[in-house]
Amino acid sequence: MIENPVRLVPPRRHGDARGWFTENYNRDTFVTLGINSTFVQDNHSYSAPAFTLRGLHFQTPPRGQDKLVRCIRGRIYDVAVDVRRESPTYGQWVGAELSAENGHQLFIPIGFAHGFVTLEPDCEVTYKCSDTYAPDNDGGIAWDSVGIDWPMPAGTVPKLSAKDTHQLALADFDSPFPYDGRPLAPLS
């Protein structure tokens, strides 16, 4: 069976009356999960208002980035969109709620656009990247061009950056990402 390229990674928490301990990343553990990335950059974002939407972003080859995303304060809905040309699941997406409470992480490989919406005020998100930021390879697609079922109240207009208000629609995007033989599957 071919592994899903996007992976939801639930934590193992060891707790007692004082609280809990978890190991967020261990290379050997992640290799057993089929995640062989070497991470070289950590990012941390803070979003003050609820329904701040960041995405859908990626870096193009040769500076593509695998990402390992987690929410350390608040709750977000995190998504990955398949943008690999010739993929049978091109344009399809998966999403999961990540929160400080559940500790879940989402692994998003190269060839997927990534974005999230905050579900409450004062959210902090951290993520590891397999390459450093490269402005010449920075790219994205419009958050509302994929058909994502963003969990926002009817009529809500998300808070967007200037950059995210001017992204190409998926239908106008010419993907530089090759398909690797692993179709996107629902998260388990």
The CATH number assigned to the domain holding 166 equals: 2.60.120.10
Greater confidence (11 vs 112) lies with 112
Over residues 77-123, the pLDDT tens digits come to 999 999 999 999 999 999 999 999 999 999 999 999 999 999 999 99
Question: Does residue 1 carry a pLDDT above 60?
Answer: no
Indicate if 166 belongs to the active site. no
pLDDT band at 3; cut points 50, 70, 90: confident
**Is 188 contained in some domain?**
no
Q: What is the mean pLDDT of residues 151-165?
A: 96
| Per-residue confidence (pLDDT) for residue 180, from 0 to 100 | 94
Please report whether residue 187 resides in a domain: no
Give the C-alpha separation, 29 to 36, whole Å: 10
pLDDT given at position 61:
97
The catalytically annotated residue of 57, 90, 104, 114 is 57
Catalytic entry in 90, 104, 114, 127: 127
**Residue 127 falls in the annotated catalytic set:** yes
Number of domains the chain is built from: 1
pTM value is 0.95
Check residues 170 and 188 and name the one with the higher pLDDT.
Answer: 170
Q: What percent of the chain has pLDDT above 70?
A: 99
Domain of residue 86 covers 7-178
Q: Quick one: tokens of 160?
A: 């967007």
Q: Work out the average pLDDT over 71-79.
A: 98
pLDDT at 2: 55
- Asked whether residue 186 is domain-assigned, the answer is no
Give residue 90's pLDDT: 98
Task: Give a yes or no: residue 88 inside a domain.
Answer: yes
pLDDT higher than 90, residue 55: yes
Q: Is residue 2 part of a domain?
A: no
The reply to whether 185 falls in a domain is no
pLDDT score for 4: 86
| Residue 49 belongs to some domain of the structure | yes
Once rounded to an integer, what is the mean pLDDT over residues 35-54?
97
Question: Residue 124 domain-assigned?
Answer: yes
Region 13-29 average pLDDT: 93
